[in-house]
Amino acid sequence: MVEQATEERPAAAPRMMRSGAASLAALVALGLTRLVHGALVARATEPETYGLVGSLVAVSTIASLLLPAGLASAASRFIPFQQGRGDQGAVGAVDRMLSRLGLAGAAVLGAGAGAVAAFVYDLGALDVLQVVLLCVTFCAYTVQKATLYAFGEVAHYAKLELASSVLAVGSTVAVVLAGVPLYLLPLALGYGLFGLAGWARLRRTRSEIRRGYGRGAVPDRREIWIYIALACVGTVCASGFLQGTQLLAGAFASREAVAYFAASVTLVAPFYFLPRALGMVLFPAMARAHGAGDAEAVRAQADISTRALLAALAPLFVGAILLAPEVLTIYGSGVYADGAPILRLMLAGTYLAVVPVAAVNSLSSGEHVRVPTLAAVAGASTGLVAVALLSGPFGATGVAGGYVLGTAITAGIPLVTAWRLLRMSWFGPVLRALSVVGSALVLAAVLDHLDVGAVLDVTAALLGAAIGASVLAGDLRKLWRDGRGRPATPGSGDAA
């Protein structure tokens, strides 16, 4: 039995790498869709209109976090978990329960999002309908995507993501060229295509399970409901806090600042590509390992993934932080460059948010799901208090600063918990990576004060990224050796 497990584990690595590559390609398409959509709308409208569009997208996104995000997380956990136990009847029963809840939740939340948006922003009937459609389709997309992953349909998910992205971008171009204010409709069309095509794909798999194993019974409904509730609370506090910064800016800052936040939230999305792709592959794999009782596989996956995120992403964030004014100018226009301090703080918060992805997955896929949830609640609560205190003297920058502080708590608690539970050696990599990103923030503030111009900003970004990569070179070499199965030289890369 031990020999068989040893033989199968190396074979699983290439499968995970292929799944991760497909996931990354799909998420790049998704992120570029939002990026292109935002850039086209920003250039076709004035900042106030673009800020409103960003706020309406945030309302729809936050609504989807109230139930569909929890259902998606439950699908990613309980379907593979039952597969790991070999109970296909339970797999079908869990899937049936979650998919029905997802459809009902999408309808209710869509109506609620439309009502809230109409009341807060005084929208017309056509705009309210766009919000409802976007929320319903995004909710269905959220659950469908996780279910495809739970059943191992990674390649099909990637194809659907690419197809829906093409539809969304093409529709955005058509809307902008036609000059009609239907700026949310292209996104709704893309998510709607994904939801319908994903349902058609899974229909065959569900029929096979039903024919082979009957309808089955849901094992331990109470455990599933508790997990859904915890996942919803955690996701609302973590992801909802990011989307909510746009709404907070509307309450505490100027209309222009709302546009800066909408642009910043869209621009940080590409930095979630790798960690999200990693998480989408890791979470079902870790749940399956927990179901099979393979704790060592969970530990190994969490270790190498966390060290990879720390070392590989830090130089990229350094470059982005130093290029913030130029990125905003290219994205919107010169008037957006004043939002550079906001974008930099949002980038710092994003780095803190993505680093513990593997650690959070290792906890949520097993017996410690309450830890990420409690951390998210603590982080969001602290962040909101910080926003209330900082927004008065610092305006929109204070809102961004509150987001960084809240995210540090949301990310830090799960990372430290997994660090201790799994007995990891992460002190050196964490210290080096945070020092590199923190130094970039300080240097960017100095360059702003000196008003050096675009040429020196670009030069500083290239040099900063290169210096960051050299500081983390030992960690990157160790990752390369570990990925190829070679033993590391004592003291290399992971030294404190």
Q: Where are the domains of the chain?
A: 23-219, 226-496
Instruction: Please give the full DSSP string across 143-211, using - where no structure is assigned.
Output: HHHHHHHHTT-HHHHHHHHHHHHHHHHHHHHHHHHHT-S--SHHHHHHHHHHHHHHHHHHHHHHHHHHH
At CA 64, angle to CA 61 and CA 65, rounded to 5? 95
Task: At 141, list the tokens.
Answer: 């997309």
**Rounded mean pLDDT of the chain?**
83
- For the entire predicted model, the pTM comes to 0.71
Q: Which of 221-235, 292-306, 347-361, 408-422 has the lowest mean pLDDT?
A: 292-306
pLDDT score recorded for residue 66: 85
Does the pLDDT of residue 464 top 90, yes or no?
yes
Q: Which of 133, 239, 112 is nearest to 186 (CA)?
A: 133
- Mean per-residue pLDDT, 416-434: 89
Q: Which of 15-24, 41-50, 187-196, 331-340 has the lowest mean pLDDT?
A: 15-24
Read off the pLDDT of residues 401-422 as tens digits, 9 standing for 90 and up. Answer: 998 999 999 999 999 998 988 8
Percent share of the chain, pLDDT over 90? 33
Residue with the larger pLDDT of the pair 213 and 444: 444
Instruction: Tell me which DSSP letter residue 489 carries.
Output: P
Q: Does the pLDDT of residue 177 top 90, yes or no? A: yes
pLDDT in tens, 328-374: 888 877 778 888 999 999 999 999 988 988 888 888 777 787 898 89
Residue 414's nearest CA partner among 374, 384, 463 is 374
Render pLDDT for 84-117 as a digit per residue (tens, 0 to 9): 777 788 888 888 999 999 999 999 999 999 999 9
What is the C-alpha to C-alpha distance for residues 397 and 342, in angstroms, rounded to an integer?
A: 6
Angle at 287 between CA 108 and CA 314, to 5 degrees: 90
pLDDT of residue 156: 86
307 three-state secondary structure: helix
pLDDT at 5: 39
For residues 64-76, give the mean pLDDT.
88
Residue 2: per-residue pLDDT: 35
